[in-house]
């Protein structure tokens, strides 16, 4: 069996589909379906069982076994960067992850979990080292603190543990995320509704729409996670982006080109984001490449049209 927490969410459901593509269906999905719309992400997937996230936590805290478990992919979290209820975020993201780590290491079950590039804050260096980490919100802090919890333990753990710091992920099955969905998704909606993409004016020395992020297609993310699953000797905390920053203008033009027409409107940069906005992110992939992972990542010029084709084919979900 493979356990996927957050398995009905954006990245988790894409991982389930990636496992299905390998012929793997013995999957336990763990999630919180208070927002039942997430079930649509799994409507065309094959899994063995489902467990509510709180019930699952109680079961692992009680030391329950689930039979032979090949690996746990831990994607479940409160991913909202605007959530400031610290007790809630720490319980769901930090304490939950600690409990799962203890359960996995006691049974020598590989654990591959989602960290976040948000731990780097404003950067400008995006390398997996403490001196470059300064989270700016509760979500980022919870991810940062679990990475810190893991670091001194890694050398003494006899099974695989991998933390992956996701950069800006976009792609299928994120429609339930609302305002937290990717800019590619929002640009697609804006072009359909008004024929215009709205981007921020210049900030932090960047021109209008020229703020740059490391945008990674979820298919690339899943491919790397499955590569790591195939290489259980690899452990550690690694960046997962493309290694190449591209501008919001690049994403907008890729969406406009796919639609065949459209324009860009630059809107004032919000005062509420000044000093709290990542105007530049770019994954340093040296550590990941050192593991032997040679995966080639899609630029937005390839990944965005691929995503919009999926949205067009799944119009009821876009």
Structure confidence at residue 318 as a pLDDT band (50, 70, 90)? very low
Please check whether residue 303 is in contact with residue 213, taking contact to mean a CB–CB distance below 8 angstroms: no
15 in any annotated domain: yes
Q: What is the mean pLDDT of residues 190-197?
A: 96
Structure tokens at 305: 């049209």
Residues 205 and 255 in one domain: yes
pLDDT for the residue 51: 98
Give the separation between CA 147 and CA 151, rounded to whole angstroms.
Answer: 6
125 in any annotated domain: yes
Whether pLDDT at 227 is above 80: yes
pLDDT for the residue 316: 57
Residues 193 and 47 in one domain: no
Residues 181 and 233 in one domain: no
107 in any annotated domain: yes
Pairing relationship of beta strands 236-240 and 196-200 according to DSSP bridges:
unpaired
- 174's CB contacts (< 8 A; 6+ apart) are 10, 181, 182, 185, 218
Closest CA to 117 of 98, 89, 136, 100: 136
pLDDT for the residue 273: 81
Q: What is the mean pLDDT of residues 305-316?
A: 91
Residues 47 and 147 in one domain: yes
Structure confidence at residue 79 as a pLDDT band (50, 70, 90)? confident
Please check whether residue 156 is in contact with residue 102, taking contact to mean a CB–CB distance below 8 angstroms: no
Instruction: Tell me the average pLDDT of the chain.
Output: 95
What total number of domains does the chain contain?
Answer: 2
Whether pLDDT at 268 is above 90: yes
253 in any annotated domain: yes
pLDDT for the residue 202: 87
Could you give the percent of the chain with pLDDT greater than 70?
A: 99
Residues 166 and 272 in one domain: no
Residues 157 and 187 in one domain: no
287 in any annotated domain: no
Give the separation between CA 43 and CA 291, rounded to whole angstroms.
Answer: 35
Structure confidence at residue 276 as a pLDDT band (50, 70, 90)? confident
Whether pLDDT at 243 is above 50: yes
Residues 124 and 194 in one domain: no
Q: Name the residues annotated as catalytic.
A: 139, 177
> Which structural domain range is residue 263 located in?
175-212+245-282+302-317
- Tell me: the pLDDT tens digits for 94-152? 999 999 999 999 999 999 999 999 999 988 999 999 999 999 899 999 999 999 999 99
Residues 125 and 268 in one domain: no
50 in any annotated domain: yes
Phi and psi at 176, nearest 5°, equal -75, -10
* Greatest CA separation for the chain: 57
Give the separation between CA 120 and CA 130, rounded to whole angstroms.
Answer: 9
Whether pLDDT at 317 is above 70: no
Residues 114 and 258 in one domain: no
Q: Which domain CATH number covers 145?
A: 3.40.50.720
Residues 43 and 189 in one domain: no
* Cα 289 versus chain centre, distance: 19
Burial 9-36 (b: 16+ CB within 10 A, else e): bbbbbbbbbbbeeeebeebbbbbbeeee
Compute, in degrees rounded to 10, the torsion defined by CA atoms 294, 124, 174, 45: 30
- The three-state secondary structure class of 134 is coil
pLDDT for the residue 175: 87
Whether pLDDT at 315 is above 80: no
Residues 220 and 255 in one domain: no
Q: Which domain CATH number covers 274?
A: 3.90.25.10
Give the separation between CA 49 and CA 34, rounded to whole angstroms.
Answer: 17
Give the separation between CA 50 and CA 67, rounded to whole angstroms.
Answer: 15
CA angle centred on 65, ends 166 and 13, rounded to 5°:
30
Residues 198 and 251 in one domain: yes
pTM, two decimal places: 0.95
């Amino acid at each position: 069996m493979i356990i996927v927490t957050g398995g009905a969410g954006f990245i988790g459901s894409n991982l389930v589909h990636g496992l299905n593509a390998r012929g793997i269906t013995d999957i336990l999905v763990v999630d919180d379906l208070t927002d039942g719309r997430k079930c649509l992400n799994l409507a065309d997937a094959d899994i063995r069982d489902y467990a509510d996230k709180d019930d699952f936590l109680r079961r692992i805290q009680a030391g329950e076994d689930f039979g032979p478990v090949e690996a746990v992919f831990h994607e479940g979290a409160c991913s909202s960067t605007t959530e400031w209820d610290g007790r809630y975020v720490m319980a769901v993201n930090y304490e939950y992850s600690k409990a799962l780590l203890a359960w996995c290491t006691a049974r020598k079950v590989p654990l591959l979990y989602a960290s976040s590039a948000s731990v780097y804050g404003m950067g400008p260096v995006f390398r997996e080292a403490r001196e470059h980490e300064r989270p700016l919100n509760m979500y980022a802090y919870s991810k940062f603190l679990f990475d810190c919890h893991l670091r001194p333990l890694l050398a003494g753990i006899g099974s695989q543990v991998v933390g992956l710091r996701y950069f800006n992920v976009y792609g299928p099955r994120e429609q339930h995320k609302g305002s937290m969905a990717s800019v590619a998704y929002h640009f697609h909606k804006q072009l359909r509704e008004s024929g215009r993409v709205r981007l921020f004016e210049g900030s932090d020395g960047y021109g209008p729409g020229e703020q740059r992020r490391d945008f990674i297609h979820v298919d690339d993310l899943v491919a790397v996670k499955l590569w790591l699953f195939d290489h259980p000797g690899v452990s550690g905390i690694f960046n997962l982006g493309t290694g190449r920053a591209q501008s919001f203008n690049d994403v907008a033009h890729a969406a406009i080109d796919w639609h065949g027409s459209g324009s860009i409107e630059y809107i004032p940069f919000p005062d509420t984001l000044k000093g709290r906005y990542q105007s530049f992110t770019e994954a340093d992939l040296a550590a990941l490449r050192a593991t032997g992972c040679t995966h080639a990542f899609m630029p937005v010029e390839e990944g965005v049209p691929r995503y919009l084709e999926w949205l067009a084919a799944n119009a009821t979900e876009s």
